[in-house]
Amino acid sequence: MLFARAVHRFTGNALFVGPTFYAKFSEKAWISAAWSAQVAGHAQNEIGALDLTNFERHRALFRFGYIF
């Protein structure tokens, strides 16, 4: 029961905005990239416009796929 209470406790929120890129090289190969920055958020019991306690300020993702 203690674990169930901890899971549902609010710790904060964040809103990320940023561009994404996707390219298909062939029928079997693709690449994607994304970058986003936190533009709004709030941590519980913290002062400030962003939630840097629970989330990063910037996020980046790079993926390459090949179907064989």
More confident residue, 67 or 12: 67
- Residue ranges per structural domain of the chain: 14-66
Q: What is the pTM of this model?
A: 0.65
Q: How far apart are CA 59 and CA 37, in angstroms?
A: 6
Q: Tens digit of pLDDT for each residue in 27-39?
A: 999 999 999 999 9
Q: How far apart are CA 31 and CA 27, in angstroms?
A: 12
End-to-end CA distance of the chain: 46
Length of the chain: 68
